[in-house]
């Protein structure tokens, strides 16, 4: 019964996040528009040389997705912090870590998943074939939840700090680098005939580690910020 109660609290928080997102469509669409614009500018700037575009594609698409996912991180806890909801969550009987997981999952569904779905369309501009597009989508599907979980740590640490956007970027970009390397590297390794299983395994390992440790670190950071 308790598990059912905790699950219902998580679902209620996620429904609240989606309701807020529907009222602020511009903030939800901004990362997706940024992703499309940045990824689309590279083929225009580099030119139509297919071999060069194919080499660049995994890195360009992954860097664009990573930067796009960062755009909405600053607002992950900011609204709840301003209106006092976050303090009520911290004082409630529901474990704060569970609420952090719900917030991170909502961030992925609202910001990360649209990037995953849009990536194949943008990949066609670079001349990627069906196999490469499938691997790209799979790496993004594994990597973007990890970005949301790691990003929640930075969002909690910079809560209420002046110039939080710049500080947030400086804190989490180094932690994003392994995800970027293994995500883009999977597509490149497959194109070179080396196999991409190892890269996917490492991405999955990073995701599992994030699921275990990111909520704990975020919870600690939130309690410090609320003191």
Distance CA(194)–CA(189), nearest Å, equals 5
pTM over 0.85: yes
pLDDT tens per residue, range 190-205 = 887 788 888 899 999 9
When pLDDT is cut at 50, 70 and 90, the band that residue 207 belongs to is very high
Q: Give the range among 30-34, 59-63, 92-96, 137-141 with minimum mean pLDDT.
A: 92-96
Residue 207 contacts residue 145 (beta carbons within 8 Å): yes
pLDDT at residue 163 in the model: 67
CB atoms within 10 A of CB 96: 19
- Judge whether residue 167 has pLDDT over 90: no
Percentage of residues in the chain with pLDDT exceeding 90?
A: 18
Q: What is the DSSP string of 35-47?
A: HHHHHHHHHHHH-
Q: What is the pLDDT averaged over residues 91-99?
A: 78
pLDDT at residue 25 in the model: 74
Kindly report the average pLDDT of the chain as a whole number. Answer: 84
Label residue 75 left, alpha or beta by phi (over 0 means left) and psi (-120 to 50 means alpha): alpha
Q: Distance from CA of residue 183 to its chain's centroid? A: 13
- Judge whether residue 78 has pLDDT over 90: no
When pLDDT is cut at 50, 70 and 90, the band that residue 150 belongs to is very high
- Judge whether residue 1 has pLDDT over 50: no
Q: What is the pLDDT averaged over residues 2-16?
A: 71
- Judge whether residue 209 has pLDDT over 50: yes
Percentage of residues in the chain with pLDDT exceeding 70?
A: 96
100 Cβ contact partners less than 8 Å away, ≥ 6 residues apart: 152, 156, 214, 215, 218, 219, 222
- Judge whether residue 214 has pLDDT over 70: yes
pLDDT at residue 213 in the model: 92
When pLDDT is cut at 50, 70 and 90, the band that residue 143 belongs to is very high
Q: What is the pLDDT averaged over residues 94-98?
A: 80
């Amino acid at each position: 019964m308790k598990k059912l109660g905790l699950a219902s609290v998580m679902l209620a928080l996620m429904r609240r996040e989606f309701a807020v997102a529907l009222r602020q469509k511009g903030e939800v669409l901004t990362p997706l528009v940024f992703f499309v614009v940045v990824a689309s500018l590279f083929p225009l700037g580099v030119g139509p040389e297919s071999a060069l575009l194919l080499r660049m594609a995994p890195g360009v698409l992954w860097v664009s997705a990573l930067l796009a996912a960062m755009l909405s991180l600053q607002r992950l806890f900011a609204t709840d912090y301003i209106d006092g909801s976050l303090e009520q969550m911290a004082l409630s009987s529901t474990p704060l870590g569970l609420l952090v997981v719900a917030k991170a999952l909502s961030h992925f569904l609202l910001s990360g998943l649209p990037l995953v779905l849009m990536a194949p369309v943008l990949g066609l501009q670079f001349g990627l074939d069906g196999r490469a597009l499938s691997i790209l989508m799979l790496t993004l599907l594994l990597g973007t939840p990890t970005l949301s979980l790691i990003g929640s740590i930075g969002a909690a640490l910079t809560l209420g700090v002046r110039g939080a956007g710049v500080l947030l970027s400086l804190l989490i970009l180094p932690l994003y680098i392994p995800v970027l390397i293994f995500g883009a590297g999977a597509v490149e390794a497959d194109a070179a005939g080396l196999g991409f299983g190892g890269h996917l395994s490492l991405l999955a390992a990073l995701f599992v580690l994030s699921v275990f440790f990111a909520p704990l670190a975020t919870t600690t950071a939130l309690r410090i910020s609320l003191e």
